[in-house]
Amino acid sequence: MRRFTVPFLTIILFLLFWEWLVWFNEWPNYKMASPSDLGPSLWKYKMLFFSFGWDTLWRTVAGLLISIVVGVALGMIMGFSKLLQEGLYPLLIGFNAIPKATIVPILSLIFIGQHDFNTVLIAFLISFFPIAVSVSIGLSTLEPEYRDILRALGASKLTIFWKIALPKTLPEFFGALKVAVTLAFIGTNLMEIVSPHGRGLGALFDSGKTNSDYPLMFSVLIALAALGIVLYYFVVVLERIFAGWADQLSG
Amino acid sequence: MIEFKNVSHYFSSKNNEIQVLDKLSFSVPRNGFSAIIGPSGCGKSTVTKLIAGLIKPRKGSIILNNVPVFSPRSNIGMAFQNPVLLEWRNILKNVMLPLEIVHNNLNGKEKVERARELLALVGLAEYENSRPSELSGGMRQRASLCRSLIHKPEVLILDEPFGALDAFTREDLWLTMNSLREKESFTCLIITHDIREAMFLADEVIVLSGRPAKNQFSVKTEKESNDNLDQLYTPHANELLNILREQIGIARRKELEDK
């Protein structure tokens, strides 16, 4: 019972405080929204929320899928070859150090008007780094004995990868994927907000901003949070299925 | 049968080459059990890698049952100090791992039976569905021994397999090792730091000199039985223990002088 009531009460208290703050300061809707405005706003634009929410979701997922493929490939390359790791690591760190917000205008200029492509691209660019690093570390820190027990029997490198290296790296991979989900969402929204005449929740947020429609802007935030939570827990479920064994190690 | 014939080996580091083995020769007869002891870092683990074919010797040859070793071969079983069990598999599946690699004619049911037979031998029959993390260190090492024997290897290489266990668990595992030896047939070489372990398990104890390792001394243990730990504390055993301690001392002093 307490597991549900305590968080529930905290949320209610927070919303009441927010409602009171807006009421006390007599802020109009073009200055600040109150929680009681959000429901009507979500309802009013429900069709837009569904169709734009879907845009944001599939773009983020598409970006993430590319991230997984490229991140795992890069991680494998760096994990298996010391030489390539030495070569690629500085480049990746340098790339990761660039705030991705600065890449958004560049991409939107290069591929002007191609909203889907732009958005998926930035979601990918922002989220592949943690995956690549975690996979490469997982592979390069594999104890040599693990490799030796199979190698001594004449197993091929590919067999060792499938039977040992890959499963052993899964907990690190899922840890990174949870970070990547959040990052990909940031990427998608950055691009959607910046792209003119675009679609997606970011574009809806931007139109709320243009019209000083604070209830709409806050409703977008709620919708984004909901999508983010859904995606995050989807990854958690996958983690339980494929790397649940690692839970028992720490627990 | 394991034969080392004048094997020399080097490790190359950045600027120089370090010799680890110097014309090392010894042999373990078929179904025999020999132990190698020597000062730390004298190249004992290199010996295991050479037998497994994981590395090639610079000079000399290694012969298993009259066939020279050039690369890894499936008639070998290995166990290390670290049991390296796969945490995402249960004990039964862990033990069966080599059967997924090594060519064999067993069907699925026979594989499970073979694994269960070994698990029963080492006292893990009730734990086949447990995860490695649920087992104690000694039990994990037992499972690791089962895995090294499941494909009926002709040669078993043990690299300090009981080194990380407490003294009582270690003695239990010595007895387990000997009962495995009675039921299964294999030629075994164990690398160890523990002189009593070498005396209790092996038919012959080989002492290596400090790096580079060469033959320094070897002695037959002439054990009376395989299941009585008391024989480690007889006058004869004490005499042997003293001789081996002395030999290790000589090896270590020599190494210090060379430095």
Q: Which residue in chain B has the smallest CA separation from A160?
A: B101
To the nearest 10 degrees (0 to 180), the angle between helices A166-194 and A115-140 is 150
pLDDT tens per residue, range B129-187: 999 999 998 999 999 999 999 999 999 999 988 988 888 888 889 999 988 888 888 99
pLDDT tens per residue, range A92-139: 889 888 988 888 888 888 888 788 898 999 999 999 999 999 998 888
Contact list in A for residue B87 (CB cut-off 8 A) is 168, 245-246, 249
Task: List Cβ<8 Å contacts ≥24 apart for B249-256.
Answer: B250/B216, B251/B38, B251/B39, B251/B42, B251/B207, B251/B208, B251/B209, B251/B210, B251/B216, B252/B39, B252/B210, B254/B209, B254/B210, B255/B39, B255/B42, B255/B209, B255/B210, B255/B211, B256/B210
What DSSP character marks residue B209?
A: P
Burial of B63 (0-12, 13-18, 19+ CB in 10 A): middle
Residue A225 has pLDDT above 70, yes or no: yes
Task: List Cβ<8 Å contacts ≥24 apart for B235-241.
Answer: B237/B199, B240/B199, B241/B195, B241/B196, B241/B199
Within a domain: residue A22?
no
Task: Provide the domain count of chain A.
Answer: 1
Within a domain: residue A29?
no
Peptide bond into B212 cis (omega under 30): yes
- Maximum separation of any 2 CA atoms in chain B, in Å: 59
Within a domain: residue A168?
yes
Q: Which residue in chain B has the smallest CA separation from A153?
A: B74
Percentage of chain A beyond pLDDT 90 is 46
> Which structural domain range is residue A83 located in?
40-245
Contact call for A154 and B147, based on CB within 8 A:
no
Within a domain: residue A74?
yes
Segment B34-45 mean pLDDT: 80
Within a domain: residue A199?
yes
Within a domain: residue A1?
no
pLDDT of residue A115: 85
Mind listing the domains of chain B with CATH numbers? 2-258 (3.40.50.300)
Percentage of chain A beyond pLDDT 70 is 98
B86 touches chain A (CB under 8 A): yes
Distance from CA of A146 to the nearest CA of B (A): 6
CA distance linking residue B8 with residue A164, whole number of Å: 32
Distance of CA B216 to the CA centre of its chain: 20
pLDDT tens per residue, range A146-180: 888 888 888 888 888 888 888 989 999 999 999 99
Q: Which of A149, A167, A248 sits opposite B78 (nearest CB)?
A: A149
CA distance linking residue A50 with residue A54, whole number of Å: 6
What DSSP character marks residue B191?
A: E
Burial of B79 (0-12, 13-18, 19+ CB in 10 A): buried
The mean-pLDDT minimum among A37-41, B78-82, B215-219 falls in B215-219
Tokens coding B112: 């499970």
Q: How many alpha carbons lie under 13 Å from residue B127 in its C-beta half-sphere?
A: 21
User: What are residue B209's phi and psi, to 5 degrees?
Assistant: -75, 170
A 180-239 near B (Cβ less than 8 A)? none
pLDDT of residue A243: 86
Distance from CA of A161 to the nearest CA of B (A): 13
Contact list in B for residue A149 (CB cut-off 8 A) is 78, 80, 84, 97-98, 147
Cα torsion A154, B146, B180, B103: sign: negative
Mean pLDDT score across all residues of chain A: 89
CA distance linking residue B97 with residue B150, whole number of Å: 9
Within a domain: residue A73?
yes
Within a domain: residue A35?
no
CATH number of the domain within which A103 lies: 1.10.3720.10
Q: Which of B53, B74, B84 sits opposite A143 (nearest CB)?
A: B84
Q: Are the C-beta atoms of residues B161 and B127 closer than 8 Å to each other?
A: no
pLDDT of residue A251: 45
